[in-house]
Amino acid sequence: MTIPTQLSLNGFVVTAPDLRFTAAGKEHVKVRVGVEQWRHETDGSFTKLDATYHDMVAFESVAREIYARFQRGDSFVASGYVHEYEVEAEGTGSVIREEFVARKIGHSATRTNYVVQRRTHQQPQVASEPVPQAPVVGL
């Protein structure tokens, strides 16, 4: 069985999350994010390049979480997908744009200090997968 994966985006929040509602009353948040870029040099070192900037959107529960928990400057890791769409640009016809649609998001553990508050009423869900045992050698 293959491991289920999604695209991820590791970046930082540039603009305050903008919470809006769809015509059906569902939450929708849009935020501008930045992504640091690095170039690996032949001597093994890394050179920091200019950051790139992108639109990120989320819907319903993820939108509520982004709006409630994230602010400018926060580092995050999000999983989701890239959505391409077409817009009309003045004088040039249509242009293809893209946005990252976050399905899950959290603060980056390597760049954020935080405290984990575990729920005490829930037991962790651990799969009961058999653990391979080493053969017993007679003494």
pLDDT tens track for 15-52: 999 999 999 999 999 999 999 999 999 999 999 999 99
Name the more confident of 128 and 10. Answer: 10
Q: Is 30 left (phi over 0), alpha (psi -120 to 50) or beta?
A: beta
Band of residue 133 on the pLDDT scale cut at 50, 70, 90: low
pLDDT digits (tens, 9 = 90+) for 59-111: 999 999 999 999 999 999 999 999 999 998 888 889 999 999 999 999 998 88
CB 63 within 8 A of CB 19: yes
Q: Which fold has domain 7-107?
A: OB fold (Dihydrolipoamide Acetyltransferase, E2P) (2.40.50)
pTM here is 0.77
Burial class (CB in 10 A: 0-12, 13-18, 19+), 129: exposed
